[in-house]
Chains A and B, each alone.
Chain A
Amino acid sequence: DTEVTQTPKHLVMGMTNKKSLKCEQHMGHRAMYWYKQKAKKPPELMFVYSYEKLSINESVPSRFSPECPNSSLLNLHLHALQPEDSALYLCASTQTQDSNQPQHFGDGTRLSIL
């Protein structure tokens, strides 16, 4: 079982809907990451939070809005998504934002945009 929990596991939404993805970890990690993964491709970094502050935004469209309410929780708010946004969204965490540390991934939310 993964130590990073993501909910929901599956999400189907229309292009005008607003929904949120949730990620939770209780390992005491202070850096959390959002990735997007298309079928048969590696994960692509979207956002990094360090000590609850946004540290990296990889030029992600504003229809994706991250939020880190506390050190254990990471949300990704979705609004007016496009069909090409259908993908597996992965959350990961590390002890601190240091590229020398192993990233622990959740099992992802599979998102389908109708």
Chain B
Amino acid sequence: GENVEQHPSTLSVQEGDSAVIKCTYSDSASNYFPWYKQELGKGPQLIIDIRSNVGEKKDQRIAVTLNKTAKHFSLHITETQPEDSAVYFCAANFDSWGKLQFGAGTQVVVTP
């Protein structure tokens, strides 16, 4: 079945530095790749998503890149701030019925 691997599992960065999280997926039919941010005590919040007909998408300090040939996609956060500290999940769709396969998550800690 569909498998999504996410690395690293934890990431500590200095405020102002960049953070990069990488995911790989196994199903070549996947065509939708959302990223979620989950703060303590909250539900996952969609922060950016990308579809397979696009190679890169940017929203202020957040960007996502997709390499369909290599089956991997990455989240880039620039100029990190303490409020970026959270768990980040990547996901990929693997059928047409609303199912997403999530990565294991990355705990990001931004130190002032």
CA distance A6 to B105 in the complex (A): 23
Nearest chain A CB to B94 CB, angstrom units: 8
In the complex, whether B1 has a CB less than 8 A from a CB of chain A is: no
CA distance A94 to B91 in the complex (A): 15
In the complex, whether A26 has a CB less than 8 A from a CB of chain B is: no
> How many interface contacts (CB-CB < 8 Å) are there between A and B?
72
CA distance A98 to B90 in the complex (A): 18
Report yes or no: A2 in contact with B43, Cβ–Cβ below 8 A: yes
Q: Among the listed stretches A13-21, A67-75, A78-86, A105-113, which one makes contact with chain B, having 4 or more residues with CB under 8 Å of it?
A: A105-113
Nearest chain B CB to A5 CB, angstrom units: 11
Question: Pick the contact of B89 from A4, A42, A97, A106 — CB < 8 Å?
Answer: A42
Q: Which residues of A contact B103 (CB under 8 A)?
A: 42
Report yes or no: B43 in contact with A90, Cβ–Cβ below 8 A: yes
Q: How many residues on chain B are close to A (CB under 8 Å)?
A: 27
Nearest chain A CB to B28 CB, angstrom units: 15
Nearest chain B CB to A101 CB, angstrom units: 8
Report yes or no: A98 in contact with B98, Cβ–Cβ below 8 A: yes
Report yes or no: B44 in contact with A90, Cβ–Cβ below 8 A: yes
Report yes or no: B97 in contact with A48, Cβ–Cβ below 8 A: yes
Report yes or no: B98 in contact with A41, Cβ–Cβ below 8 A: no
In the complex, whether B20 has a CB less than 8 A from a CB of chain A is: no
In the complex, whether B104 has a CB less than 8 A from a CB of chain A is: yes
Contact with A along B72-110 (1 / 0, CB 8 A): 000000000000000101010111111110111100000
In the complex, whether A55 has a CB less than 8 A from a CB of chain B is: yes
Nearest chain B CB to A28 CB, angstrom units: 16
In the complex, whether A102 has a CB less than 8 A from a CB of chain B is: yes
CA distance A4 to B46 in the complex (A): 13
Report yes or no: B105 in contact with A40, Cβ–Cβ below 8 A: yes
Nearest chain B CB to A1 CB, angstrom units: 11
Residues on A lying within 8 angstroms of B by beta carbon are 2, 4, 6, 31, 33, 40-43, 45, 48, 50, 55-56, 90, 94, 97-108
